[in-house]
Amino acid sequence: MAKQKVYFCLDIETADGEETDAAVLAVGGSVVIKPGVVLETFCTSIIPNSVADHSFQQYAPNVPGNPWGATDSARECMSLKTWDQFWSKFPGVLTKLAANALPKRVAWAAIEKWIQGVYDKYDTETTKVVLVADCGDFDLGLINDSFKTFLDRSLSVRYSTSSGKRHSVMDFGDHTPADVWAKLKEMADAVTLHDHMPDHDSSNTALLACYLDMLYDHPTLGGRIDNVGSPQWNAVFGTCTGV
C-alpha cells in the first residue's frame, strides 16, 4: 500500500536578494496532507547582521520607516532599493518579524530542531515526507549555508538525522502549464495567505503541491482543468475551500 504523502514546505524572507546567510530575516515552514489540510506551521525570525558584519556595498544605515531599529538590525543590512521596491509595501510583516527576532545561533538551532521534528513525526510506516520549496535552490541553499555558518556543521535540510534518509525536493512550478498553475494558485490563495510571512507563504506553496498531486494522480482529471465543476472534479476537490 502506498504511503500517504506529507507535504513539507520551507520558506525564507531576506533583507535583500543576495544569496547570503547574513541577510536572512526569517524562516517558516508548513506541513500539509491531502485534501489540503494544514497540520502545523512554524516561524522563527532572526536578528540579521549589521552593515559592519558583512561586505555588502549598497546597504544604507538609515532606511526610513523600517521598524527594526537602528542597531544590529535589518535597517543596517537592507538596501534602499530593496526597501523601496519591496519591504516598504509590507511594513506590518517586518513589525511582526521584529517582535520575536532571535540571535542567529539560537534561531538556527530552533529551525533545525523543528525540521528534524517534522521528519521524526511524519516519516513513518504509513506516511512519507515530500519536501517542497517555491524557490528551492535559493531557500534551501540558504538554509544549508546557515546551518554550516551558525551551527558549525554541514547539515542538509533534506537529511533526517534520526532515520538517515535524504529527502527529495518536489520542484513543480516551472513544469506546470500556466492555466493549471493559475487555477490551483487561486484555490490556494482562497484558503491561505501569501503575505510574505514565511509560515503563511509556506502553507500556500505546500497546498499548491498537494493540489497538483491530487489533480495529476486522478485517472480522469489527468492534470487538466477543463472539467472544473464536473462530478469528477468535485469528487477530488469538493472538500477544498476556494474551489
Q: What is the DSSP letter of 46?
A: B
Residue 32, classified by CB atoms within 10 Å of its CB into exposed (0-12), middle (13-18) or buried (19+), is buried
Instruction: List pLDDT tens digits, range 105-120.
Output: 999 999 999 999 999 9
pLDDT attached to residue 201: 96
Q: What's this model's pTM, rounded to 2 decimal places?
A: 0.85
Could you count the other beta carbons within 10 Å of the beta carbon of residue 226? 8
pLDDT attached to residue 32: 96
Instruction: Report the C-alpha gap between 169 and 131 in whole angstroms.
Output: 5
Instruction: List pLDDT tens digits, range 211-232.
Output: 999 988 888 887 888 888 888 8
pLDDT attached to residue 189: 93
The residue to which cell 552593515 is assigned: 51
pLDDT attached to residue 76: 52
- The helices-and-strands tally (H runs, E runs) of the chain is 7, 5
Instruction: Report the C-alpha gap between 194 and 196 in whole angstroms.
Output: 6
| pLDDT tens digit at each of 243 positions of the chain | 789 999 999 999 987 666 567 678 899 999 999 989 999 999 999 876 543 333 333 333 444 455 454 444 454 556 666 767 777 788 788 878 877 888 889 999 999 999 999 999 999 999 999 999 888 788 998 999 999 999 988 788 999 988 888 988 887 666 778 888 888 899 999 999 999 999 999 999 999 999 999 988 888 887 888 888 888 888 888 877 543
User: What are the structural domains of the chain?
Assistant: 4-234 (3.30.420.10)
Q: What is the SS3 assignment for 188?
A: helix
pLDDT attached to residue 202: 96
103's grid cell:
540571535
Closest CA to 184 of 35, 38, 40: 35
pLDDT attached to residue 181: 85
